[in-house]
A and B are shown apart, each in its own frame.
Chain A
Amino acid sequence: MIYNLLGDWVFDFVYYFMILLSILLFIISIAYILLIYKHIKEKKWIGKKRPYWENLLKDYEEGNIEKGHLIKKLDYKNQYFRDYLIELARKDKFSKDLLKDIYIECGFVVEDVERSMSKKWYKKAQTFAVWKHLRILTKDRYVVYQLLSQNNEVRLAALDLLSIHRHPILKKKLEDIFDFYSTHVDYYLTVKLMDAEISVEGLEQLIWSDNRRMKKTGVILLGREGEKESIDILKKFKDEPEDIRFEVVKSVGRIKSIEGLDILKEMKRDDSPRVRKEIAIALGKISYTDSLEDLQKVSTQERAENIISILNELVNDENAEVRSNAFLALSNLGKKGRKKIEDYRDEYPGITKEALLKSFSGGVNFDTV
């Protein structure tokens, strides 16, 4: 019917199109079968080689063989051994130093450097990722230059690599990074800068910046566990806008030091319920320990009283979320905390019951969620 209407050429066209498709189909089928065959062969070969490599590495680690001897015995001139080393580094199966040493000895880094100079973004980014896993950093200046690459993947890979090495250049480049990176990757940027463990002095250009985004990030980065010297700086931000105050309190919570109590006490009547809720959580973090003995060690009874005195106000807060977190924070304070919770059993039966039960089962770890 249809070719009566349109003429024979349609039929011919569809016919030849079908032949073309069939050829294509045949090629893909063969490619698929060959790929399966290749993977099976690879798997078999790797299955044999990996235990051999692992034993050699173990021998070397235990000092049974020397490096020269190891390199000679390793059949390393192939992609599979390189991949195996990277996999081992990711799994922390051998010491990173040992793996890095062998990786360099086998000459893979020389190949990597060439790859990293490629114009292809993925070759650069993949190389930086490998170096990160093996804790290798070579051609520093080139990697630093890539921090401001036009390609998002490359610059984040460079950041990742420099961050794992806690590279000192990062603190000098902070302003450039914030100028160049989009606000959408702020989350990642903050995580990586936190991983880089930049010193408090190194963060000065961020925290005293007029740029709100930089200032906020600086305040977040001050909140590293045990970094007590940050607390004095954080105090200076307690009158900043709400989003900064919120981060100040969160940072105090992350530092988990009893020295942070003063600032939390000063801020407990903050206008923002979000900030007050975070104060309760911060107090919960400061008071959370895995055992009551630890609690005795880190905080004297007087200090526990101090925490309770702040929470005492928060359990009466007009905002239910603030109250609820304050009760949960009390559950981290042992007997004294429980006594305080019990005072409110009639007024808030639900949350006090939960807080008491949690107190008996070791308290609430506010870090997990």
Chain B
Amino acid sequence: MTLSEILWMFIALYSLFVLVYFVMINSGYLILLFLGIDEVVFHSRKPDFDICDREGCKLVPGITIIVPAYNEEKIISENVRSLLDLNYPRIEVLVVNDGSSDNTLEELKRNFKLIEVTREIDEKIDTAPLRAIYNSIEEKRLTVIDKQNGGKADALNLGLSYARTELVLAIDADTLVEKDALHKLVRKYMRTDSRVVALGGIVRVLNNCQVISSEVKKAKLPKKFLPAMQVMEYIRAFLFGRSGWSRINSLPIISGAFGLFERKALMEIDGYRTTTVGEDIDAVVRLHKKMKEKKEEYDISFLPDPVCWTQVPENRKTLSGQRARWQRGLIETLMFNKKMIFNPKYGKLGGFVLPFFLLFEMFGPIIEMTGYIMFIVFFLLGIFSLSYFLLFIAVAVIFGVLISLSSLFLAELMLKRYEDPIDRLKLLLLAVVENFGYRQLHTIWRVKGTIQFLRKESKWGEMDRSEI
């Protein structure tokens, strides 16, 4: 075989591979779309009940809201107030100051009159050393734990060790939880006919929203392009992705910004893994693993209506860092749990969901990137087929828009959060526009994350915070 024949063979095989891959990924997304629609419709049909009415409210499970805080002086007090104000009868807010170098702790001391206390615990997950525990004189449901810096997962683990309630809610310090979100999550927890170990709600973009007394009064689309684009992404990721996986009880991700867990279950897996930046996805995958190994009937679900709001990056640098970190977290999780992939012992998760993530989410950006490069190579070699190229691009774009638009349609049907019709039409436009430029940028950021993983980088990156 001559070199030229080998080259032709390679090109032919590559083209075939790309076509098969393309059909597989889009079929996968199509299945996920149908599952997601089914789940959202199913959920919306469930009646809206209060979980308790009279004396029964004293029996509802207590929730500890764990807020890991690192350099959050601008927003921490406001956020703690909003959490204490949530509509749920039994909560404790546990802020874990993860060795902040700014005035996070001082802000809390000043605003909530903290006093140093002791608290005994039965079992503790290993973490960076604890410095002190504080209770608020003013607000009995607030506890602040000060510790040496150890990262978000480490802070969550310390909070988990000191939590005394049956349920824990892990959130980010900049997350604004809607007033009745806990009721909705606990309703699902209490009414499900199997053991519920974790529940996730929808995370929405806070930037540019009108917030009064820590409550989103008017949801508005951000004026800047990047955060506006993320609105579209969040709607799609939650309503189409997570709902779909949830339908087959194989949800592999619950956002670190907003997830309710059975404390006992998290303790059984020794809490969050501190050696990954994707501690949220890793914890959920390990919860599945544990429950499958115990052969216990369980439920890990996503609910489309308990809502929390979070600030998203407004500049390209922070966003690219965040997306690279998410990709790194995903790859780390898949590597840590590689025994589960293609393993029928772990049911749909091992047989379908994790392989899907491996093939399409982990390798997807690399394959997409090589696709762009190969088109250039084909062009230079003079074997570029314009009609094939255009057809390929057209199908990819139309498919992408179709999925985004279906998610938007679901959001409009079920959530109706954006009041301004112009905002809603802008979202329609963004669903199309994101395919030209933004999608490619996103691919580059994710490839960057893959490279960071290969280089074994462990940095978290920075997140800009502004006052809510």
Contacts and interface: CB of A to CB of B under 8 A. Distances in A.
Co-assembled chains A and B: yes
Interface of A: 1-6, 10-11, 14-15, 17-18, 21-22, 24-25, 28-29, 31-33, 35-36, 39-40, 43, 122, 125-126, 128-130, 132, 152-153, 156-157, 160, 163-164, 182, 184-185, 187-188, 190-195, 197, 220, 224-225, 254, 320-321, 323-324, 350-351, 353-354, 357-358, 361, 364-365, 367-369
A187 B58 CA distance: 12
Contact of A28 (B55, B89, B402): B402
Nearest to B58: A254
A15 B11 CA distance: 22
Given A194-B52, A350-B117, A351-B118, 13 more contacts: A1-B11, A6-B16, A28-B405, A39-B416, A163-B56, A194-B56, A195-B54, A197-B55, A350-B118, A353-B115, A358-B135, A358-B140, A367-B58
B120 A320 contact: yes
A31 B394 CA distance: 22
A72 to B, nearest CB: 31
Interface in B339-378: 378
Contact of B140 (A43, A187, A365): A365
B191 A156 contact: yes
Of listed A14, A32, A164, A353, residue having the most chain B CB within 10 A: A32
B56 A36 contact: no
A184 B385 contact: no
Contacts of A128: 47
A348 B6 CA distance: 80
Contacts of B12: 1-2, 4-5
A220 B59 contact: yes
B191 A32 contact: no
Interface in B288-334: none
A361 B91 contact: no
Contact of B395 (A18, A29, A130, A369): A18
Interface string B27-65: 000000000000000000111110111111111111010
B53 A195 contact: yes
B61 A184 contact: no
B19 interface: yes
Interface string B401-429: 11001101100110010010100110010
Contacts of B398: 18, 21-22, 25
B10 to A, nearest CB: 11
Contacts of B56: 163, 190-195
30 contacts: A1-B11, A1-B15, A2-B15, A2-B18, A25-B401, A25-B402, A36-B421, A39-B412, A43-B419, A122-B45, A129-B47, A153-B46, A164-B53, A184-B192, A184-B193, A185-B193, A188-B51, A191-B57, A195-B52, A197-B55, A254-B55, A320-B120, A323-B120, A350-B116, A350-B118, A353-B116, A354-B135, A365-B140, A368-B91, A369-B141
Contacts of A35: 409, 412-413
Contacts of A17: 395
A357 B91 CA distance: 22
Contacts of A18: 391, 394-395, 398
Interface residues of B, number: 75
A1 B13 CA distance: 10
B60 A184 contact: no
B465 interface: no
A277 B329 CA distance: 41
Given A11-B391, A24-B402, A368 B141 contact: yes
Contact of A187 (B61, B118, B387): B61
Contacts of A125: 45-47
Of listed B47, B405, B413, residue having the most chain A CB within 10 A: B47
Contacts, number: 187
A217 to B, nearest CB: 10
- Counting from the closest, the 3 A-B pairs by CB-CB distance are A129-B47, A350-B118, A122-B45
Contacts of B383: 1
Nearest to A361: B137
A365 B388 CA distance: 71
Nearest to B189: A187
Interface in B107-160: 115-122, 135, 137-138, 140-141
Nearest to B89: A368
A321 B89 CA distance: 23
Nearest to A125: B47
Contact of B425 (A36, A130, A193, A320): A36
A161 B6 CA distance: 74
Contact of B120 (A40, A191, A321): A321
A182 B416 contact: no
B90 interface: yes
A31 B409 contact: yes
Given A14-B395, A351-B118, A369 B91 contact: yes
Contacts of B117: 350-351, 353-354
A194 B59 contact: yes
A157 B405 contact: no
A191 B378 contact: no
Contact of A21 (B52, B89, B138, B399): B399
A188 B405 contact: no
A191 B91 contact: no
A182 B58 contact: no
Contact of A160 (B49, B141, B165): B49
B184 interface: no
A320 B119 CA distance: 9
A24 B378 CA distance: 32
Contacts of A36: 412, 421, 424-425
Given A324-B120, A369-B91, A184 B137 contact: no
B423 to A, nearest CB: 10
A364 B392 CA distance: 67
B409 A21 contact: no
B50 to A, nearest CB: 8
A361 B114 CA distance: 12
Given A187-B61, A369-B90, A25 B405 contact: yes
Contacts of B46: 122, 125, 153
A188 B15 contact: no
B464 to A, nearest CB: 32
A357 B115 contact: yes
A365 B139 CA distance: 11
B264 interface: no
A25 B117 CA distance: 60
A3 to B, nearest CB: 7
A240 B463 CA distance: 55
A160 B48 CA distance: 11
A21 B402 contact: yes
B15 A5 contact: yes
A157 B405 CA distance: 34
B458 interface: no
A147 B425 CA distance: 46
Nearest to A354: B117
Contacts of B138: 361
B103 interface: no
B120 to A, nearest CB: 4
Nearest to A121: B45
Contacts of B61: 187
A70 B138 CA distance: 49
B335 interface: no
Contacts of A163: 53, 56
